[in-house]
Structure 1
Amino acid sequence: MTLTLRDFRPSDAKPVADLRRAALRFLLATPQGVAWQIAAAPPAKRLRSLVAVRDGRVIGQINASLLHDSSRPGQGMATPLVHPDHRGHGAGSALLAAGEEHLAAVGAVHAYAWTVDEPGSLAFAARRGYRPTRRADFLRLDLTHTALPPLPAALPPGVRLCTGADFGADPRPLYEADAEASADEPADVAADAVTYPDWLRTTWENPDLDLGLTTVVTVDGEVAAYTLAATDGLGRYLTTMTGCRRAFRGRGLAKLAKTDALHHARDAGCTEAFTGNDTTNAPMLAVNRGFGYRGCGGEVRHVRDLGPK
């Protein structure tokens, strides 16, 4: 059973999507989304995508790149994924070593990675010199059997519910809200330097983004809160980001956006909704659990200084 590593090819999109669904059951993956993530990566990201192949089958994959959307230089990310049926035979180690080599070559001084919060994955990271920094909880909502909170009978004065599609002609106001909210997200490396062209390429034009199920709350015509939604055509709905601009926080507008989006998702035939939150983000975790979301997994963020192990 010879293991080989090679660069990602467009024909790998489906097997990599299948791999991601098997390895990370709480996330969403589609062939078109996988292909887009790689093809549309901004040059400053310095992305290199590799697959591990055994007996002609893609059994592992890694994306190694700089965290170019941060104002802190020299930060990189490389998270290997290996199919559950093929772990323990060296694929993860080979992928991670290749990812770290690429990061070092493009100037990264730190390598960040996520591991599933389970003993085997945590031990894998520890053996390779990675130290844990923070945890994220992933939550699942059964849209078929869970009663969603009702929408308010009347919205407050000046408040309006829109969809992402309503911003098709000019998405910049949504970008500005997303950039502000994302910069405030709990993180080891803040995403505080996202440019509009990069946001268009990596968020707005992502084929998994469902503009019809993305809800935007405006107040007197200004974007105040939003929830971005991705779908896979298989009944799965994923909240990729929910945020509120600083000037509008404390008024329940992010919860309103999510309530509206979940109602639309269920009406559109989605049967499962997924979301994730940093464990320090108590307010958003409370909101999600109030909807009926329940834990379905977790990941632990790790970091290693690039250099001799």
Structure 2
Amino acid sequence: MTVIVREFQPADAAAAVRVRRAAAPYTVTTPASMVNEHRAAPPARRYLMLVAERDGEVVGYANAGLAYESSEPGQAFATPLVDPAHRGHGVGGALLGTAEEYLAGLGAREVYTWVLDAPECRAFAGARGYRPTRTLRYQRLDLASAALPEPPDVLPPGVELRTAADFAADPRPVYAADVEVTADEPTDIPFGPVDYEEWLADTWNDPLLDRELTAVVLVDGAVAAFSAAHTDGEGRYVSAMTGTLRAHRGRGLATLAKAESLRRARAAGCVEAYTSNDSENGPMLAINRRFGYEPCATEVRHVRTLG
């Protein structure tokens, strides 16, 4: 059976979503978010989305691009996903090889990829010259039955609970908070701040972002913490980012934001909640354990230096 790799087209969105859900069921995506991902990527990212077909059926997907925000030139990424029912037929290798060739043509020196922490997946990466660097832990919460904390009767002086929807007219305060929190995330690639217009297209206007479920904590009228919510309209919810600005850490504000977001999500009909944390992010791993999240998957970051 011949494997054909080609560029993603918007008409492939539903098929690509099916592949992504089969290969990584602990993530949330929709056809609309796939189309937006294709359309809204910043030009400097040189973003490439690929699909792989076997006998006319889309059975694999990959994305690739330059880590253009990095202070180190030549950093890039490429991650293939294959429907588990079609693994072992060269689909992943064809996708990754096409992505690597594309990135090499752009001058990339190092390519990072995520690999499921399973023997066959790690062997796939190792056989192609990739070496492991760090791990990402995915966790699941049965939101329908979770014992979520009740909202506080009284908030501390100066503290308010709002939603991202309250910033629809001017999301810059949320942008500034996201930039600071993201800068402190553990990573292999050092990043600089994302341009505001790019953030609007890539993050704020992502169809997955539910602004009504995204909780924002204000302290004396300024954003101090937030918990961003992604939903797929089918009962699945993902914590896209939870964090507190440096000046306000140690006060339980991230927990306050996440609890509010989860309560809102359940009230809106979400029944499953997912989140992910770098293995070195002890504070958020502890917060998620207290909410009742349980491990459901681990991915390992790998890197290869191109020839």
TM-score by length of 1: 0.98
The alpha-carbon deviation at position 95 of structure 1 amounts to: 0.6
Q: Offset of 1:145 from its aligned partner?
A: 1.3
Contact conserved, 1:70 with 1:194, CA < 8 A, in 2?
no
How far is 1:29 from its partner? 1.3
1:116, 1:179 → 2: CA distance?
A: 28
Amino acid in structure 2 at the alignment position of 1:47: Y
Runs of 4+ in structure 1 off by over 4 angstroms are none
* Structure 1: runs of 5 or more not aligned: none
Aligned to 1:246: 246
Q: Distance in 2 between matches of 1:172 and 1:67?
A: 23
Q: Which of 143-152 and 105-114 deviates more? A: 143-152
The CA distance in 1 between the partners of 2:25 and 2:242, in whole Å, is 21
Give how far 1:302 is off.
0.3
SS of the residue corresponding to residue 241 of structure 1 reads strand
8 Å contact 1:71–1:193 — kept in the other structure? Answer: no
Cα offsets for 1:233-271 (capped at 9, x unmatched): 110000010111111111111110001000000110100
d(CA) in 2 for partners of 1:265 and 1:93?
38
Deviates more, 1:24-33 or 1:68-77: 68-77
Q: Which amino acid letter does the alignment assign opposite residue 282 of structure 2?
A: A
Question: Is structure 2 residue 217 aligned with structure 1 residue 217?
Answer: yes
- Aligned to 1:79, what secondary structure does the other structure show? strand
1:299 corresponds to 2:286: no
User: What is the one-letter code of the residue matched to 1:232?
Assistant: D
Kept after mapping to 2: 8 A contact 1:70/1:193: no
Question: What is the CA-CA distance between 1:55 and the residue it aligns to?
Answer: 1.1
Match of 1:7 in 2: 7
Percent of aligned pairs with the same residue? 56
Matched, 1:186 2:191: no
Gaps of 5+ in 2: none
| TM-aligned CA deviation for residue 152 of structure 1 | 1.4
Distance 1:68 1:228 in 2: 24
Aligned alpha-carbon RMSD (Å): 0.8
Tell which deviates more after alignment, 247-256 or 145-154: 145-154
Are residues 1:62 and 2:62 paired?
A: yes
Equivalent pairs, count: 307
Residue type of the partner of 1:72? E
Deviations 1:77-120 (A, max 9, x none): 00011100000111111110111111111121100000011111
User: SS of 2:71's equivalent?
Assistant: coil
Structure 2 match to 1:229 = 229
For the residues of structure 2 that align with 1:289 and 1:260, how far apart are their CA atoms?
Answer: 16
Q: Normalising to structure 2: TM-score of the pair?
A: 0.99
Q: In structure 2, how many angstroms separate the alpha carbons of the residues matched to 1:25 and 1:70? A: 29
Offset of residue 197 of structure 1? 1.2
- 2: CA distance, partners of 1:71 / 1:242: 24
2:37 counterpart residue number: 37
C-alpha separation in 1, matches of 2:161 and 2:190 = 29
